[in-house]
A and B are shown apart, each in its own frame.
Chain A
Amino acid sequence: MKRRNFIQKSTATAAFLTLGGLSLESFGKSTRKHITILHTNDVHSHIQPFDVNHYKYPNLGGVARRATLVENIRKENPNTLLLDAGDIFQGTPYFNFYGGELEFKLMSMLKYDLATIGNHDFDNGINGLYAQLPHAKFNFVSANYNFKNTVLDTHVKPYKTFIKDGIKIGIFGLGIKLDGLVEKDLFKETKYLDPIEIAQDMSRILKDEEHCDLVICLSHLGYYYKSAPSKISDLNLAAKTKNIDLIIGGHTHTFLPKPTVTKNSIGENVLINQVGCYGINVGRVDFYFDSNKNIASKGKSIIV
């Protein structure tokens, strides 16, 4: 085995030497790739813009406007993913009347690529969520909800990978502890697993086994809890894991004016973003890749 490695190495060197001036150049060239991630969270059934006289969010939001924004960005960069970090349901009569049908149909029209599950997505019970799944032309991911003994078994995967312009993107989902937040009758036999352990596992699988170039966590854990700093949150998750490039959060309805840059367990940068609630904002994160093997600029610049 060792000998074979040696041969591989020596022949590779030989190839580099002999073919150096020829074909290697063709893929040694610097080719820049660009992935755009768009995201929402806690839209809570807000289909239409807020009333022009609304005390807090006058004339803001609206799915039909969001559609224009997303369409324009997709035209500008076809290598775009549109994600949602949960709590799609509950907040306007549209949910009370249609049980989430309209939310899922509209998200499908906007070509959402992936979403995770928030606590309010259980508001009509796990059966209510299951019943609306046929209206969603996008997938749901959740790695720390075990749905084995529920109707959602096999319908929700821990993660999903996408390939855009040759860049492999792995996205996994994390949900908040349901006990005490959602009635047991609603989430039934859904088992909540430790988000940190699961995230460590997921990022290893996505990085080492799936060889993803980009690892994203869609989280409904909440950004941070001031009154309970040790409670699991996106900030704590970032600090205790590695190999995650971006955490897209929800639940706490945190309006971040720009993504937070923080350090992971091995001192590397992680981005966390959350864009408030009710579809008032869309978050945008652009990733630029360089495929030049002679990387002089090891490390990345983050502009937020």
Chain B
Amino acid sequence: MKKYILFFLSIIILNSCKKETQSLVRIEGKLLPITKEIKSVQQIDSFILPYKLKVEKEMNTILSYTKKDLVRTDGILESSLGNLMADMCFERANPIFNSRTGKNIDFALFNYGGIRAGITKGDITTANAFNLMPFENSLVVVELTAKKVNELVQYLIDKHIANPISKHIKLAISDNSYDLKIKNKKLDPAKTYFVLTSNYLQKGGDQMTFFSNPVSINLLDYKVRNAIIDYFSEKDTIYSNLDNRFIQIK
């Protein structure tokens, strides 16, 4: 019995030694800003360098050319850059959509806020495409009823800004009515329309609620930015003008 107790005793001592609780007595917290006063680790800098050079080279690659500044602010209800944005995405996306479904896109709609930077006259580089579209948004084709297209038009009228729409739309608004043509035809209440936009807007971005619960959605697996880069790559010079696709009649 004595041996037994001694055995126990040593276990307890070992245990109490091992399990001795660590008590947290003091905590200190602070913010360490990364400023120019902190020297770089040379090894890290040299590791980054080849990546940096490659990215810079790619970003500085000249894709195309523009004779004038392309901006989103040179019109009231349309802009040179907005028109370009919608038209080039349409041009890149429609062959893909057509080859997969046998159908054609009716028009494209994006949002004014989604044009993140203008393009200065001169060479157009990959960097321009990244600045114009820094997000990873992808192109989608949304099938809408005529009723939803009416809501879309009402949205354009209510917002009264140069939201990018493709040349397939002609919309003239006056104080209490409007005239709409889609591919030179009046809106057909019995028809559904295929509208090209981004996944971000389809999901209700910028309050584009008319894109919710559509007849169908077709994901093109094609990033908006890549469509822009591909379009620039195949054109020597980019032209875009205001063509009264969306106007206010006095």
Contact = CB atoms under 8 A, between A and B. Distances in A.
Interface of A: 7-8, 11-12, 14-15, 19, 23-24, 27, 33, 47-49, 59-69, 71, 90, 93-94, 96-98, 102, 105-106, 109-110, 123, 166-167, 180, 183, 185, 213-214, 245, 256-259, 271, 273, 275, 279-293, 295, 297-298, 300-304
Contacts of A33: 22
B215 interface: no
A92 to B, nearest CB: 8
Contacts of B5: 7, 11
B249 interface: no
Contact of B31 (A49, A66, A256, A297): A256
A1 to B, nearest CB: 15
Interface string B5-49: 100110011001100111111111111111110111111110110
Given A27-B17, A68-B38, A304 B44 contact: no
Residue among B29, B43, B48, B52 with the highest chain A CB neighbour number at 10 A = B29
- What interface size band does chain B fall in? 35 or more
Interface of B: 5, 8-9, 12-13, 16-17, 20-36, 38-45, 47-48, 51-52, 54-55, 58-59, 130, 136, 199, 203, 219
B48 A64 contact: yes
A105 B43 CA distance: 13
Contacts of A27: 17, 20
Contacts of B27: 245, 271, 285-288, 300-304
A78 B66 CA distance: 57
B216 to A, nearest CB: 16
Contacts of B52: 47-48
A270 to B, nearest CB: 10
Nearest to B138: A183
A185 B28 contact: no
A275 B20 contact: no
A15 B9 contact: yes
Given A7-B8, A11-B9, A258-B29, A67 B48 contact: no
Given A65-B38, A69-B32, A48 B48 contact: yes
B34 A65 contact: yes
Contacts of A60: 33-35
A11 B42 CA distance: 61
